[in-house]
Amino acid sequence: MGQSSSTKRVLLSSIKMAVATFSSRILGLVREQAIAAVFGASGVTDAFTIAYRIPNMLRDLFAEGAFSSAFVPTFTGVKIKNEKLAKGLLWSMAVLLALITGSISLAIVVYAQEIVMALTNEVFNSDVERLNMTVGLVRIMAPFLVLISLAALFMGTLNTLKVFFIPSFAPALFNIAMIACIFILPDHLKVWGHHPVYSLGIGVMLGGFIQMIVQVPLLLKKGYGPQGPFKLISKDSKTVLNRIGIGTIGIAATQINVIVTTILATGTVVGAVSWLTFAFRLFQFPVGILSVSIAGSNLVHFSEAWKNSEKEKAIGYLSTSYFLSFLTIVPAMALLFALSKESVHLVFERGAFDGNDTSMTYLALKYYLIGLPSYGLYKIFAPTFFTLDKPKIPVKISVFAILCNIAFCVYFTPKYGFWVLALGTSLSMILNSGIQAICLKRLLEIPWGFFFKFRILKIIIAGLITYVATLQASEYLFNYSDPFYRKAFMFCLSGALGALCYGIALAIFGEAKELKKIIKRK
């Protein structure tokens, strides 16, 4: 299969995932708007953010992180050899996941207060009401780990079966459930004698259940319902668990990083945790729509080609994903960087979220955006090592990058403030993806030209032009005192003009033919 066919397959599956994920991210922003409007960037929001972070730490291991990277290549290899065994592996892993994550969730419920106190500092814990609120939220949301882990397992399976849209759309249903709970439950909780913030915890649980269960009918339709040969511990399940075990080291380092940065943030100023969280949500918007979609598509196609001993075909998929990542992430970075303050203002500034919250969130967002292209490459590179049966390499790289980030943040945050935590994240991601590229060059025996293509330079220059054009357009068109709908229109117009400049710049640089191909395939 030629480069053109590789591009088409990766692009089409990426588009399906991107469209579904776009819906999810839009609803995710609406969810954050709802939280900001109802609860603001306050101690109450900090309580939920910290409580939600606890199951999310383990979610990285059993859902989007090490588990997905370990399961998809193994499942793909088994499916190529014997589809019946692949079906048995799926449900064996489902039971194992439920048992492991269920036990962990129970432990979280029992030791919730001790966990919260370990993740925060004395300033946060001195507010007894806020501390109790955080502990209560942790206990409500602990079983979310089971639901989201099974949802990730089902999504990885369906992606391998070339079903991309519905699994990627499932998180949108999670957001819908949360939004409904935010607006419906607070008044009822007050009547029942509970704090309204518990509506967020209930929303997380309801959303997690829906995200998991909506994928089951698709598995049944594909003939992958519960069935044997059922063997809880098999050679293949041991392979997945061993790889997860290796990934645990990297995940543990990541969570140590989260713990340290959370403690540093709570030690700066009230609201810092929320400002960083809201900024990271906006930062993740292009990552979720573009990078995660491209990375998910690459993992499926790369794994399939590699397991079939088609090295050149696999490298072709990786090359396509690398190019598409730059082609889409660079303009997204340029647009969001130029319109960062306007984005925070439009998305969050209402209700309890005031102008100061906008300024602080905007400050954090700028520093997160520095690492956006590298974050996109990391999403593509890291799972590739698992397919190559080299899972220890990305783990070692991640641990090194995280240690550098922790040292950087511990030293500079007390001097300069919470925004250093965002900058540290970006710098560590640049370091991480750079070292991964060096290792992939050696493992796949590819030239440096694979990474440093002249076409990539064209994209970067076009991105700079896009940034300048968008910044000028927004300064001329956008007025913070205008009515909301006019501001929203001017925001979109500024972005559209910037995107147009990006397309024109690439056409001038001779990339019009490739853009036409992509638009035609879409």
The string of DSSP codes covering 440-482 is: HHHHHT--GGGTS-HHHHHHHHHHHHHHHHHHHHHHHH--TTS
> What average pLDDT score do residues 109-129 get?
81
Are 359 and 490 members of one domain?
Answer: no
Contact between 3 and 319 under an 8 Å Cβ cutoff? The reply is: yes
Helix%, strand%, coil% for the chain, nearest 5: 85, 0, 15
pLDDT at position 463 = 94
User: Measuring CA to CA, which residue among 420, 328, 312, 336 is closest to residue 377?
Assistant: 328
pLDDT band, residue 62 (cuts 50/70/90): low
> What average pLDDT score do residues 203-224 get?
93
Domain count, the chain: 2
Which range of 26-40, 293-307, 421-435 scores highest in mean pLDDT? It is 421-435
Distance from C-alpha of 300 to C-alpha of 376, rounded to nearest angstrom: 17
Look at residues 418, 452, 486 and tell me which one is the last residue of a structural domain. Answer: 452
Are 228 and 373 members of one domain?
Answer: yes
Q: What percent of the chain has pLDDT over 70?
A: 86
Which range of 248-252, 394-398, 413-417, 432-436 scores highest in mean pLDDT? It is 432-436
Are 74 and 183 members of one domain?
Answer: yes
Are 381 and 486 members of one domain?
Answer: no
Full domain range(s) for residue 496: 453-522
> What average pLDDT score do residues 114-131 get?
79
> What average pLDDT score do residues 256-262 get?
69
pLDDT at position 147 = 93
Count, residues in the chain: 522
Question: Does the structure show a pLDDT above 80 at 361?
Answer: yes
pLDDT at position 1 = 46
Question: Does the structure show a pLDDT above 70 at 6?
Answer: no
pLDDT at position 522 = 43
Question: Does the structure show a pLDDT above 50 at 504?
Answer: yes
Are 519 and 382 members of one domain?
Answer: no
> What average pLDDT score do residues 110-133 get?
82
Contact between 30 and 179 under an 8 Å Cβ cutoff? The reply is: yes
Question: Does the structure show a pLDDT above 50 at 118?
Answer: yes
Are 403 and 517 members of one domain?
Answer: no
Question: Does the structure show a pLDDT above 90 at 71?
Answer: no
User: Measuring CA to CA, which residue among 219, 276, 261 is closest to residue 407?
Assistant: 261
Question: Does the structure show a pLDDT above 80 at 25?
Answer: no
Residue of higher predicted confidence among 451 and 40:
451
> What average pLDDT score do residues 339-354 get?
85
Question: Does the structure show a pLDDT above 70 at 94?
Answer: yes
Question: Does the structure show a pLDDT above 90 at 501?
Answer: yes
- Distance of CA 497 to CAs 229, 311, 500, 510, Å? 57, 41, 5, 20
Are 436 and 457 members of one domain?
Answer: no
pLDDT at position 85 = 87
Q: Is 147 strand, coil or helix?
A: helix
pLDDT at position 212 = 94
Question: Does the structure show a pLDDT above 90 at 69?
Answer: no
Question: Does the structure show a pLDDT above 90 at 200?
Answer: yes
- Taking only the tens place, the pLDDT of each residue in 153-163 is 898 888 888 88
Are 272 and 364 members of one domain?
Answer: yes
pLDDT at position 215 = 93
Tokens of 90: 């799926």
Are 425 and 491 members of one domain?
Answer: no
> What average pLDDT score do residues 343-357 get?
84
The mean-pLDDT minimum among 32-46, 427-441, 485-499 falls in 32-46
Look at residues 431, 452, 473 and tell me which one is the last residue of a structural domain. Answer: 452
Are 477 and 422 members of one domain?
Answer: no
Question: Does the structure show a pLDDT above 60 at 59?
Answer: yes
Are 473 and 353 members of one domain?
Answer: no
Question: Does the structure show a pLDDT above 80 at 260?
Answer: no
Are 500 and 433 members of one domain?
Answer: no
The mean-pLDDT minimum among 262-276, 324-338, 386-400, 405-419 falls in 262-276
Look at residues 452, 478, 504 and tell me which one is the last residue of a structural domain. Answer: 452
User: Measuring CA to CA, which residue among 200, 174, 163 is closest to residue 37?
Assistant: 200
pLDDT at position 63 = 59
